[in-house]
Amino acid sequence: MKFFFPDSQDLVSPTYDFIHDEYSPLRVRQRDDRYAHEVLSEPAYDGVLVSKAVVDGSVRGTGKYSMPQRQRIYRMGVRAFFRLPKITATMGDCGSFTYANEPEPPYSIGEVLDFYEECGFDAGVSIDHVILGYSKSGESAPDDWYRRQQMTLECAQKYLDETRARNSTVAPIGAAQGWDPPSYAESVAALQKMGYTRIALGGMIALRTPDIVDCLLAIDDIRSSDVGLHLLGISRIENFDNFRSLGVTSFDSTSAFRQAFMDDRDNYHTADTTYAAIRVPQVEGNVTLKRAILAGRVQQADAVSGERDALMALRDYDAGRVSMTSALDSVLAYERLVIGSKKKSYEEQYRRTLEAAPWRSCQCGLCADHGIEIAIFRGTERNKRRGFHNLATLRKKIALRLEGVQQ
């Protein structure tokens, strides 16, 4: 089971100063900042997935790449641009969610294959038009869903024809869209008939796991033994055994990474549990706190002092200079300034995190370098490092689960 990490230009600065919370004045982002595979002690993913919409933009406007970055990836190629190890695979797709509300995809077959070839991808997914819905058994599907499915299949045939006409080195992956088990099975059957041996299942992100399994079961009834499935945007690691037995050979997901800073509590992952990161927001960067200061409910000097004391107490605790209780008291004192007394405190979650201190035994490489800083919910440099740690943890979970299956 191969794990692909979708690119959104997530990097960290190796020279970031955590004590003063500032970047080096000599920093050049693309030259100096590092991707997850460059800062972790072991590979966190088997490949990267890069969307044309992220690089070139779509109907919603520009993508995540600046013009110099865009020019660089086309000039250097995806492997050199990301400074990837040789063993890391590369896959391109169109980023269909960016144009989901449009009547048809904004790219031509030639434009997409040009993107894949010029950037030097190992594999590329055919153009698809995502179906944003799922139909329960017996329910009729809207005409637009049928239209999108047919459009996706027509694009897949044209894309495969174009790769053959060009004798392209980019391995073709057919995109399948559906809205229930039979429709997904129909799409896969059609793609197999065209000649695809790798098929990406799209539009499943919002589905419940039992619905995904139902679709995979229906697909498995018609799937050729030499056809491997890729789940677009799906992880659900607890179901990997089942997915693998039903023909899934790869998947991509940002869930573990994004939970580091998007989840309310499950921010720091370990092999068997999750922990809440300890929130110490920057006085100048927290909207709620700034409003409280402007309204006169909080004195700015008290906020700055509370922020400083919380950070110092956490670092002293990690160094063994103060007790866990003392560090927690400082964090909670600052928390009361930030959120007031009306919102629920994170006291129990923070106590659990500090008592376990999971970063002390982690072997991802980042935790050993940064200590408790990686468990502090504060700014992009800490939060993304914690996200990179979560990717490394996910990779280990996958390996352990697959090892258990093989045994």
Domains and CATH numbers, the chain: 46-253 (3.20.20.105), 265-394 (no CATH)
pLDDT beyond 50 at 155: yes
If you ran DSSP here, which 8-state letter would residue 34 be given? B
Burial class (CB in 10 A: 0-12, 13-18, 19+), 129: buried
> How large is the angle between the packed helices 255-262 and 379-406, nearest 10 degrees?
140
Percent share of the chain, pLDDT over 90:
85
pLDDT beyond 50 at 337: yes
pLDDT in tens, 245-259: 999 999 999 999 999
* Band of pLDDT at residue 407, cut at 50, 70 and 90: very low
Name residues whose C-beta falls within 8 Å of residue 251's C-beta, 6 or more positions apart in sequence: 1, 2, 3, 4, 230, 231, 232, 234, 235, 243
Least confident of 63-72, 132-141, 238-247: 132-141
pTM for the predicted model, two decimal places:
0.93
Burial class (CB in 10 A: 0-12, 13-18, 19+), 15: exposed
- Kindly list the catalytic residues: 93, 252
Q: Which two tokens stand for residue 375?
A: 């468990």
pLDDT of residue 138: 66
Q: Which of 366, 377, 361, 200 has the alpha carbon at shortest distance from 280?
A: 377
Residue 339: how many CA atoms within 13 Å on its side-chain side? 14
Amino acid identity, residue 179?
W
3-state secondary structure of 106: coil
If you ran DSSP here, which 8-state letter would residue 58 be given? B
Choice between 173 and 290, residue whose per-residue pLDDT is larger? 173
Average pLDDT over residues 338-352: 89
pLDDT of residue 116: 98
Percent share of the chain, pLDDT over 70:
98
Average pLDDT over residues 337-342: 80
pLDDT of residue 236: 87
pLDDT beyond 90 at 73: yes
pLDDT in tens, 33-54: 999 999 999 889 999 999 999 9
pLDDT of residue 404: 61
C-alpha to C-alpha distance for 314 and 197, rounded to whole angstroms: 52
3-state secondary structure of 260: helix
pLDDT in tens, 188-232: 999 999 999 999 999 999 999 999 999 999 999 999 999 999 999
Mean pLDDT, all residues of the chain: 94
Place of tokens 């919102």: 343
